[in-house]
DNA sequence: TCCGGTCCGTAAGATTATCTTACCATCTGT
DNA sequence: ACAGATGGTAAGATAATCTTACGGACCGGA
């Protein structure tokens, strides 16, 4: 028990759960897809279990997120600035072009309607 | 058939060693910096030992590389993608968090609604 | 050549984490 | 209330990792 830096671990566990739910998957589904058991996934998200690098890659693929975001690493790209942006953009890529166009207009409307928060 | 898809693992181990040497560190140095023993690092690079997500982050920091590269993941999925997606991401970054949340749910619903062609 | 030092790979027993199965609580829709 | 699904947790069996140690390969100096 030489827990010296639980920050990263907590971040990972939180994001594992968040990404899973956003992907619309249950722990059981994930377990079956990764060839694991339900309790394993449960304790992974609880932080009571390690997540190997292989599992990390598989989870990232399943949830359509990057391993960098899962482990809380900051890259210098656009997606890294806002964690959820990558996920959202990923979803956008699956839309039909016409839907994407519509969504872009909607986004512009939302932004124009409520400008605020941070500048720059 | 013990080795059917060792791509990811082989890639990780190979890159672990490559990154370490490029960083000018010995296994002993890495072991001490991570609070491990020399044999552990040795077997990590040999692929006979798992690398946890925490260790992965620490190693990436030590070697000054990204975890995405270590595991063989393509980091920048966004920037290299369609210009339209990039534009969409820019719009997303201007949204308020609550709006982004709403949008994520909407996207998840759209994807869930559409017929899927079983992925990875 | 011989020596001292460093680096790395590997083995065997002790230690630890993980797996497997099972049970329980909660929530939802009928 | 019932049935189904989801998620948290416990205990023994299992498999991994840790710890220590030994040995080989390499390099520069006497």
Q: How confident is the model at residue A72 (pLDDT cuts 50, 70, 90)?
A: confident
When scoring A34, A53, A74, A111 by the number of chain B Cβ atoms within 10 A, the one with the most, hence best to mutate, is A53
Q: What confidence score (pLDDT) does residue A102 get?
A: 56
Contact B88 A104 (CB under 8 A): yes
The model's pLDDT over B20-43, given as tens digits with 9 standing for 90+, comes to 998 999 999 999 999 999 999 999
Question: Does residue B28 reach within 7 angstroms of strand C, measured from its CB?
Answer: yes
What is the spatial distance between Cα B60 and Cα B68, in angstroms, rounded to a whole number?
9
pLDDT value at A47 more than 60: yes
Q: How confident is the model at residue B73 (pLDDT cuts 50, 70, 90)?
A: confident
Of B34, B38, B36, B42, nearest to B17 (Cα)? B42
Tell me what percent of chain A is helix, strand and coil, each rounded to the nearest 5: 65, 0, 30
Contacts of A69 (CB under 8 A, 6+ apart): A15, A79, A80, A83, A86
pLDDT value at B3 more than 70: no
Q: What confidence score (pLDDT) does residue A100 get?
A: 58
pLDDT value at A79 more than 60: no
Residues of chain B contacting residue A75, judged by C-beta atoms under 8 Å apart? 66, 68, 75-76
Q: What confidence score (pLDDT) does residue A69 get?
A: 87
In angstroms, the CA of A39 and the C1' of D10 are apart by: 11
The class (CATH top level) of A1-75 is mainly alpha
pLDDT value at B83 more than 70: no
Q: What confidence score (pLDDT) does residue B113 get?
A: 40
Question: Does residue B27 reach within 7 angstroms of strand C, measured from its CB?
Answer: yes
Which of A76-90, B3-17, B18-32, B85-99 shows the lowest per-residue confidence on average (mean pLDDT)? A76-90
């Amino acid at each position: 028990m030489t827990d010296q830096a639980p920050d990263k671990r907590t971040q990972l566990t939180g994001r594992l759960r968040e990404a899973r739910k956003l992907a619309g998957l249950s722990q059981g589904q994930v377990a079956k897809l990764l060839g694991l058991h339900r309790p394993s996934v449960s304790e992974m998200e609880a932080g009571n279990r390690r997540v190997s690098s292989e599992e990390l890659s598989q989870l990232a693929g399943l949830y359509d997120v990057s391993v960098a975001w899962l482990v809380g690493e900051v890259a210098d790209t656009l997606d890294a600035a806002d964690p959820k942006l990558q996920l959202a953009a990923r979803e956008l890529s699956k839309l039909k072009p016409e839907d994407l166009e519509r969504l872009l207009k909607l986004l512009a409307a939302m932004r124009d309607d409520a400008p605020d928060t941070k500048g720059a």
